[in-house]
Structure formats: C-alpha cells, structure tokens
Amino acid sequence: MQNTNDLHNKLNEMYKSMSKGQKLLTNYITDNYDKAAFLTAAKLGEVVGVSESTVVRFAMFLGYKGYPEFQRALEETVRNKLNSVQRMEVTYGRIQKNNVLSSVLASDAEKIHETMETINEEVFEQAVDLILSARKIYIIGIRSCAPLAQFLSFYLNLMFENVILLNTTSSSEIFEQMIHMNSQDLIIGISFPRYSMRTLKALEFANNRSAKVITITDSVHSPMNLYSSCNLIALSDMASICDSLVAPLSVINALIVALTMRKQDEVADTLETLEQIWDEYQIYESDEIDHIDDSLKMRYGNLGDDDE
C-alpha cells in the first residue's frame, strides 16, 4: 500500500502534467479530502464533473493499480482525523436515505471479505500461542471498542484463570491495574480510528515491562502497532456517526474458537460446572412457563372447586 506522504507528493509533483479533468480531481481531493476518501469512483466523478473512467485513469496515472488502491491510500490520510460531524456528513453523502439497511449490511459484508483476504494467518496462530502461554492476560478497549474488549474478556474468562479487563475511566487507574505486569504477561489492545491515546499508553507501558503485546486494529500503519509484533488487522468503516466494527468482532470470534479448540477438555469441564451452577442458582429460567401457570393457580384458585 502506498503511504500517505507518497500520495501527497505525487499530487503535487505530477500536477503540471495532468489533464484538465485530472487537475479538477486533484483540486477537489485537496480541498475535500475528508469526503473524497469515502466516495466511489462513480460518485467522485459525478461530484467533480468528470466520467468514472477518468477517475480510474487518474488513479492509475498516479501509480496505483486501480481506484480501490488509490482510495485506501487516501483513506489513510483522513482515517484518524475525522470528527463526529465530518463522519455524519460523509455518511449522508454515501448512503441514500431509502437504502440504509442494505447499504450498511453490504458495507459490513465487504469489510469482512476484505479482512479475510488480507489478514495474516501466521500472525493469527502466533496470537493464539501467545495467549495460551501467558501468565496473565490483560485486555483493553476504550469507547466504541469497549464492547469488543468485554466480549473477548467474557469468553477468555471461561478458559483462563487470570484474565483482567482493564477499567479505563482514567489513565492513572489503567497503570495501577497493570503495576504487577511482567515479561510473562500479555496485553491485548483493541483500537480503531479515532485511535485512543489511553490504549496506546497502556501498550507502551506493557512494552516497557517486557510483556507481550497483541493488537487488534485496522491498518499496518495504526499507531497501536508501535509496541506490538503481533498485529491482527481487521478492516473497519469509521466514516460514520456509528463505528462499524463487524470485521474486528469476527476476528475476535475466530480467536475464541481457535483457543477453545486448543483447550477443548478444559473448556468442556468449565462449561459442565457452569451448567450445574446455573441450574442450582436458577440463572436461566428454563421453566418460566411453569412459573406463570403456578402464579395463575395461586391467584384464581382451583377452578374445579367452584363446579362442585
């Protein structure tokens, strides 16, 4: 993938040799990078006033294999800079109001497919091995990534004794919870644009303590990867008022399944014990209908007695 500085340099250096249509595209992209990065080739051409083929040729003129590769390079320049208002504006520009459901589902499916094609399976297996060999497993995810961290923590707690979901209300509290971390431990950091500084600082702290670091993030260029040699890349769509983290959740599901298969006997024993506990303490009301029937009997008495 081309880096962001390379894209900016090419736009500047090649401007004089561009056609009129290419200059129009460059001018629009330079002035509206936050919107242009998330437009299809056809939509970008429509906005600028050139044909879709002109947009595709423009991307190839800049040295990219096609428009998708050019678009990914452009996304890198804005991925961590969009504020909430800009995200909402971009979303409205990409999705028709009468086609929201299918557009969002199609976008999520595309992110999962792209993640399947790009994720490194050797790195995935390395992550599984690191988790299995860790003394303690720390997990951190902040704001929109918090549900992912909680989901992963819930299932890892069924497999391992020392899983710590970091309380992330403040940076000082994070460090206090990590004070006993050492080289035998592992931290899993989950962060997507706009990247969390608290998560980054936690990974830096872990790295300084010689702990192993696994990241679940969106790009090889993510700052989360500064302190990690095991990076699980799952594509996300952050150009929205609601962050789309479907692909990262799928990667986390795959991690849980892989770990379960490696610890099958232990997990089976744990689940069997949990089933007994759930039954004993009535965690799940499997006989809810019977409870309703009993309450009706208590309220109305035995109807048969009235007939006697």
57: domain CATH number is: 1.10.10.10
pLDDT of residue 82: 54
- Indicate whether 105 and 23 sit together in one domain: yes
Report the candidate in 251, 244, 38 with the shortest Cα–Cα distance to residue 144: 244
pLDDT of residue 307: 46
Give the DSSP letter of residue 51.
-
- Indicate whether 125 and 257 sit together in one domain: yes
Which of 69, 86, 114 terminates a domain? The answer is 114
Residues recorded for the chain:
308
Which of 114, 129, 148 terminates a domain? The answer is 114
Max CA separation in the chain (angstroms): 103
- Indicate whether 127 and 202 sit together in one domain: yes
Q: What is the dihedral of CA 188, 194, 200, 202, to 10 degrees?
A: -60
Which of 114, 148, 183 terminates a domain? The answer is 114
Question: What's the whole-number average pLDDT of the chain?
Answer: 82
pLDDT of residue 251: 96
User: How many distinct structural domains can be found in the chain?
Assistant: 3
- How far is it, in rounded angstroms, from Cα 168 to Cα 190? 12
- Whether the pLDDT of residue 189 is over 50: the answer is yes
- Indicate whether 82 and 167 sit together in one domain: no
Which own/partner contact pairs does 68-73 have at CB distance under 8 Å and 24+ positions apart? Answer: 69/1, 69/2, 70/7, 71/37, 72/1, 73/1, 73/2, 73/3, 73/4, 73/6, 73/7
How buried is residue 135: exposed, middle or buried, by Cβ count under 10 Å (0-12/13-18/19+)? middle
**In whole angstroms, how far apart are CA 259 and each of 13, 39, 160?**
50, 39, 10
Q: What is the DSSP string of 168-232?
A: -S-HHHHHHHTTT--TT-EEEEE--SSPPHHHHHHHHHHHHTT-EEEEEES-TT-GGGGG-SEEE
- Indicate whether 93 and 148 sit together in one domain: no
- Indicate whether 105 and 228 sit together in one domain: no
Give the DSSP letter of residue 282.
T
- Indicate whether 135 and 257 sit together in one domain: yes
- Indicate whether 230 and 276 sit together in one domain: no
Q: What percent of the chain has pLDDT over 70?
A: 80
- Indicate whether 124 and 69 sit together in one domain: no
Is residue 200 a contact partner of residue 171, using CB atoms and an 8 Å limit? no
CATH number of the domain to which 164 belongs:
3.40.50.10490
Cis bond before residue 57 (omega within 30° of 0): no
Bridge partner list, 231:
215
Give me the helix-helix angle, 67-78 and 4-13, nearest 10°.
110
- Indicate whether 130 and 217 sit together in one domain: yes
Q: Answer yes or no: pTM beyond 0.85.
A: no
**pLDDT tens digits for range 87-146:** 545 555 555 566 778 878 887 888 899 899 889 999 999 999 999 999 999 999 998 899
**pLDDT tens digits for range 238-267:** 545 556 789 999 999 999 999 999 988 888
Is residue 52 a contact partner of residue 108, using CB atoms and an 8 Å limit? no
What sign has the CA pseudo-torsion 230, 223, 182, 167? Answer: negative
- The Cβ-side half-sphere exposure at 41, using a 13 Å CA radius, reads 17
Give the DSSP letter of residue 119.
S
If DSSP codes are grouped into helix, strand and coil, which group holds residue 14?
coil
Domain that holds residue 83: 4-114
Can you read off the two tokens belonging to residue 15? Answer: 């401007």
- Indicate whether 75 and 158 sit together in one domain: no
- Indicate whether 177 and 231 sit together in one domain: yes
Amino acid at the residue 244: S
Is residue 177 a contact partner of residue 202, using CB atoms and an 8 Å limit? no
